[in-house]
Every structure is written in C-alpha cells, then in structure tokens.
Amino acid sequence: MTAKTKTNKEKQPPILFDKTQGIIKQVNKLLGGTLVTYFNNPRGSVCHDDVLALYEVLEKIGFQEKIYLFIKSSGGNGQASLRIVNLLRQYCKEVIAVIPLECASAATMITLGANAIQMGPMAYLTPVDTSLTHSLSPLDRDNDRVSVSLDELTRVVRLWQAQNGDAKENPYQELFQHVHPLVIGAVDRAESLSIMLCKELLAYHIEDESETDRIANALNAKYPSHGYPILFEEAKRIGLKVSHLTPEINTLLLELNELYSEMGQRATTDFDDTHAHGNEILNIWESNGALVYYQQDKDWFYRTEERRWISLNDVSRWRRVMKVGNKIEKSDLHIS
C-alpha cells in the first residue's frame, strides 16, 4: 500500500463552523451576553494547552461584560481549570456557566469559578476527588497505566482493618505489593491540591472563607464515587448558586452539542490488524467568529508481544478557523 493510497483512505471529521456559528448567534441573543463554548469528546480532557486555545478565542471577541461558558467535559487537569477561570476573568466582569449535559471532575472545578451555574434537565456535576495516573501506577490488562485515587486506597485500608481488626500486620505491607508507595504518596498530595484548587476557584466570587472550605471539602470527601452525578437539587444543597436553563436555550445548546459530537466522532482508519490512523477532534473552543480545536493526527501500531497500541508519526496539533471580514481563514496554532 503506497503512502498516497493510504492518505486518500483516511477518515476526516467534519468542521461544521457555519452551523455552530449560527447557533451561537441565536444563543447570544437569548442570553443577552457572549457565549464561549468548550467541548471534549470522550477521549479529550481539560489540559494546560486549553488555556492558550481559549486565549485565541478571547482575543478575537475582546473584553465582555458577561461571558456565558458552555461546558461539556468528563474532566482532566484541575490546575488547568484554575488557569482557564483566571484567564476568563481577565476578559469579562462576570462568568456564568451553562451546563446542558456532563460537566465532571476538572470541568466541575471550572464551574466553581463562575458567578452562577445554569443547569439543564440532563445536566450534572461530579465530585472532584483527585485521581492520577502515575508512571509507577499498576498496569491493566492492556498494559496501560491505571489511575489511582486516594478515596479508593483509603477504602481498601478501611475494609482490610474491618476484616482483620486483631491482626498485627500493617495493611500497607499488602497494599504495597500492588500499588507502589510513591504512587500512594503522590495521590495523597494530589487530594490536598484538589481542595486548595476548589477554594481558590470559589474565592473568585465568595468572600466567606468558611463557606469556600465547606463547599470544597464536600466536593472532595462527601461522595462515595468520583462519578456520582450531582444533580440540580444536590448542587443547591451544597451551596452552589444554581438555576435552571430555559427550555429554549437548553434545546439550542443540545443542538450545539450534537454538532460538536459529529465533529468529535471517532475518525480511526484501520488498514489491517496492527496498523491504523487516527484523525479525531478531541477538544473544541468556540465563540463569535472563532473556532479553535485540537485534532489527533497519528499512526497506531499494535505491538503484539506487549499487547498494546503505540503511536507513530504523531503530527497532532491545534487548528483554528477565524472569520475575518467576509472571509474564513484556517491555520495551525502551534502550542508547545
């Protein structure tokens, strides 16, 4: 198979700039402010590169009285969440988070920095207890490193102690056979970081330090599952300033999510059992006249003896689409 033939067969996701821009204009009119959108597909995540991508969008729209931030994400890096909120605050006087669907983990952290949160009937937040994938984390069946959370480790120790109350052995002696001690230490530090990040984000609009402590600790320690869906009423009980999205705006945001989902669909081309190519769009930022997205562009090779896929020829990059006058300009955004 020649390189030319291979390239011609690679799947390419659609860029639906005209359609998404049309919906954003409608939402702006209904909200009376400026909508900025942030979308992760299931394999995308909140990351530090998002800050530079958002900067491109904010520079295009300029300073605004009020920014409405649409978020659909399963989470990522909490420290990046703090940077995203800090950047947004420099381009507007007030941030309102608008959530039609999933807004989990590090994405929930972003909402903590907003003055208010508007939730649709299918929207939910989640706890923000930190889990991390360490270079010494255990391996799964595909030989990939798995994430470890402090809550999981604490529950294992508590269960062991409950069942072996009279035993003299230290539970960590058994645990260390499966989880490296440095991983346990790193996870413990990460939880302290998570609480600190939540308090910093809440402090953007809540002056009462005891209130920020209470909310931050609830989000980090109250729930038995990292993926526990915090729905509208529960968010209200925690102390978050939440209100309902109007049906009309919720419908438009769901339409917008559908278009982003089409852009972020799987775009993997399988050439044989061990060779493939991925062109998937993972992260999307958009507002008036500006779209910035991260597109995966790399070959995959299945290394049989290790039972895992490895990437080759990785030229994944951020790309931007900007409306300049009546013209649409496309270019690469180099972030390193």
Nearest to 330 by CA among 301, 292, 294: 292
- Give the phi and the psi of residue 193 in degrees, each rounded to 5: -65, -40
Distance CA 79, CA 197 (A): 7
Supply the range of the domain harboring residue 39. Answer: 13-127+223-303+315-333
- pLDDT for the residue numbered 5: 43
Q: Is 181 helix (H, G, I), strand (E, B) or coil?
A: helix
End-to-end CA distance of the chain: 33
At 335, list the tokens: 């972030």
Strand partners, 299: 277, 312
178 within some domain: no
84 within some domain: yes
- pLDDT for the residue numbered 165: 65
- pLDDT for the residue numbered 77: 86
Q: Which segments in the chain show pLDDT lower than 70? A: 1-8, 129-136, 141-143, 149-152, 165-168, 187-191
160 within some domain: no
Distance CA 258, CA 254 (A): 6
Number of domains the chain is built from: 1
The pLDDT tens digits for 2-32 are: 444 454 577 788 899 999 999 999 999 999 8
The pLDDT tens digits for 151-202 are: 667 777 777 777 776 666 777 777 777 777 777 777 666 667 788 889 999 9
C-alpha radius of gyration, the chain, whole number: 22
Which uninterrupted H or E stretch holds 154?
A: helix 150-163
Distance CA 238, CA 214 (A): 8
Rounded to 5°, angle at Cα 40 from 37 and 41: 135
187 within some domain: no
66 within some domain: yes
Q: Please report, for the domain that includes residue 97, its CATH number.
A: 3.90.226
85 within some domain: yes
42 within some domain: yes
150 within some domain: no
